[in-house]
Chains A and B, each alone.
Chain A
Amino acid sequence: MIVTVATLIARRLLAAIPILLIVSALLFCVLRALPVDPAAMSLPPNATIAEIEAKRSEMGLDRPLPEQYAIWLRGALHGDFGQSIQFRRDAGSLVASTLPVTIQLALAAMVIAAVLGFGGGLLLFSLRDTLFEPVVDVISIVLLSIPEFLWALILLFVFGVVLRVLPFTGEVAPGLPLPRVTGFLLIDSLLVGRIDIFASACLHLILPAVALGLAFSPTIMRVLRSSLFDVYHEDYIAQARLRGLTERQILIGHAFKNAVLPTLTLAGVQFGILFSGTLLVEVICSYPGMGNLMVDAVRNADLPLIQAIGLTYCIVVLLINTTVDSLYVVLNPKLRIR
């Protein structure tokens, strides 16, 4: 069975390669349509026209577009994404240092979204046919209407500014060193044995992670509830009731197990969206992840960096979707039969 899943993942990944190629080509074309000149930008303002021309041919900007793309693609495949114009550093290494920060945030947010989503979904469902139903129903739509960046601002305002109980800028308290082993701060701080850094990092993670989690839980909540409704029409629920099981046993032991599948697929799709949702939350909480770097790059028209980060986001989202697809097959025995 492990073999089938492995081949499945491999096949899905292979199918993702042409998509990635097209995505990278599109990215390249959109960014080349810009009215900015990366060669002039990477030189001091007093450079002569001849110097700019020399830089242009050095950067390959005087060649036709398909050739430029081929050069860039060859570099990218070797892990060379070119030099960031504003930081004068290798764009690939900039991405590599900020990616773990974003992954850590996204994972923490996903856990929170799942806990709130599944808990809320069960609660919503158990309140069905009661007086509360229309009330919680409207509340869930209202919650659905608050995107992650508004949650981040609201939480920042309430817990950071008014109550002053949570820090809301950066990854750790200023002054603390940042140990870098794996790039994941929570793991690294434990690896070097600094509980104080670990605690500070956890505190700093709460606000952005909860903001993201809150924004993504209502969808999970509503889908879990509606798939529970579907499941309750099945014969095995009636049969379980005839066997004399309590409503609680039926809900947890029979209905929930079956309703969880569609919800998990959705949670997977949501995880892909949540991952890109980190961008705004990072900007608002000054969290030093890839999103913050992206906005920085976008504001400064730092083309090589935008390209590298844009492609990284696509790769991560494609990886997440592929994994979710395969997990779905693992969890759903019906799909395993050929």
Chain B
Amino acid sequence: MVSIFARCLGSPRVLVALTMVLVIAGCAIFADYLAPHDPGEQNLLSILTPPIWQIGADPNYPLGTDSLGRDVLSRLIYGARTALLVAFFASLGAMVLGTILGHLSGYFGGAVDWVIGRAVDVWMSFPPVILSLILMVGLGIGLRNVIVAIVLVDWTRFCRVLRSEVLVVTRNDYVAAARLLGFTHWQTIVREVLPATLPLLITLVSLEMAIAVVVEAILSFVGLGVGANQPAWGQMIADARQYVYQSPWNLLLPIFSIFLTVTAFNLLGDGLRRTLDVRIVEMAR
């Protein structure tokens, strides 16, 4: 286990990606200390001020203000908190649900596999964006509901990939040996099958976090995300789009934040995939 960690950290890709993720996570965790202003605090006397490197900037607002005079830097930092909260809990939830169903499906086969397989088919025939929009209409806006919607949409990604991995793992002699030793099905899955699928799982979670960040941004952009009182990058983009001629930076900065976060998770996933060397198909995306 230790050697695997060392190998992962030895890959420059993983190292760079991990640093990026940690910096963004740091912003999210310590937002209260890092943000110079309250993200919701309005100052209608200085709206749409440019960032510090442009003429007419207010040193109080290093990255400028938005159309309601709110500090863009603080909103970006708190937006990171929203994005990462969603990324973390949504991918965790999707992983738990998808992993359990994928293991059951691949391990038991037969009727269990058939039922879960058909459920996946039905789910996959819904385009993800459409399904998440419809779910958000049903659930209503809010941070918790965004997470629930992403879990309900994306569990199939884990389920499909893990099912085929479990199918392969279950054929190994040591799994049969565990059964012969008197392990229950439950013990066999948890102690013998799950550890073998773990590297694949870690890679998938990393890629799923990237997807969750994008979905959260999309939902917030459309106005069906975490709600107006919580800063989110997608929301900032939607606001800034109306004032793109006056203050283009308000549009570019949240775009850049999303891009950076998604790249970090994708790079991490790709690096882990290479170092852990698992048979992961490109189709998983």
Residue A310 interfacial (CB < 8 Å):
yes
Residue A19 interfacial (CB < 8 Å):
yes
Residue B214 interfacial (CB < 8 Å):
yes
Q: Are B222 and A145 in contact, with the CB atoms below 8 A?
A: no
Q: Are A276 and B130 in contact, with the CB atoms below 8 A?
A: yes
Q: Are A19 and B266 in contact, with the CB atoms below 8 A?
A: no
Surface stretch bound by A, among B39-47, B67-75, B158-166, B237-245: B237-245
Q: 19 new A-B pairs (CB below 8 Å) besides A145-B259, A279-B133?
A: A26-B122, A30-B138, A31-B137, A34-B137, A141-B263, A141-B270, A145-B210, A145-B262, A146-B259, A147-B262, A150-B255, A153-B255, A273-B128, A279-B129, A295-B222, A306-B134, A310-B130, A310-B134, A314-B127
Residue among A22, A161, A273, A275 making CB contact with B245, cutoff 8 Å = A161
Residue A173 interfacial (CB < 8 Å):
no
CB neighbours of B218 from chain A (8 A): 147, 149, 280
Interface residues of B, CB < 8 Å — how many?
42
Residue B10 interfacial (CB < 8 Å):
no
CB neighbours of A219 from chain B (8 A): 282, 285
Best-buried of A27, A147, A219, A275 by chain B (most CB within 10 Å): A147
* Bound: A222/B282 CA distance, A: 8
Chain A's closest residue to B215 (CB) is: A147
Q: Are A318 and B134 in contact, with the CB atoms below 8 A?
A: no
Q: How far is the CB of A124 from chain B (nearest CB, A)?
A: 13
User: What are 18 A-B pairs at a CB distance below 8 A?
Assistant: A19-B121, A20-B125, A30-B134, A30-B135, A138-B13, A141-B267, A145-B259, A146-B262, A153-B241, A284-B241, A298-B136, A298-B137, A299-B222, A301-B137, A309-B130, A310-B130, A317-B125, A318-B125
A interface, CB within 8 angstroms of B: 16, 19-20, 22-23, 26-27, 30-31, 33-35, 138, 141-142, 144-147, 149-150, 153-154, 157, 161-162, 219, 222-223, 226, 266, 269, 272-273, 275-277, 279-280, 283-284, 294-295, 298-299, 301, 306, 309-310, 313-314, 317-318, 321
* Bound: A23/B130 CA distance, A: 12
CB neighbours of A284 from chain B (8 A): 241
B interface, CB within 8 angstroms of A: 13, 121-122, 125-130, 133-138, 140, 210, 214, 217-218, 221-224, 237, 241, 244-245, 248, 251-252, 255, 258-259, 262-263, 266-267, 270, 282-283, 285
Residue among A34, A157, A298 making CB contact with B248, cutoff 8 Å = A157
Chain A's closest residue to B16 (CB) is: A138
Q: Are A31 and B138 in contact, with the CB atoms below 8 A?
A: yes
* Bound: A280/B134 CA distance, A: 14
Q: Are A223 and B282 in contact, with the CB atoms below 8 A?
A: yes
Q: Are B121 and A266 in contact, with the CB atoms below 8 A?
A: no
Q: Are A275 and B221 in contact, with the CB atoms below 8 A?
A: no
Q: How far is the CB of A144 from chain B (nearest CB, A)?
A: 6
CB neighbours of A138 from chain B (8 A): 13, 267
CB neighbours of B130 from chain A (8 A): 276, 279, 294, 309-310, 313-314
CB neighbours of B237 from chain A (8 A): 153
Best-buried of B137, B241, B285 by chain A (most CB within 10 Å): B137
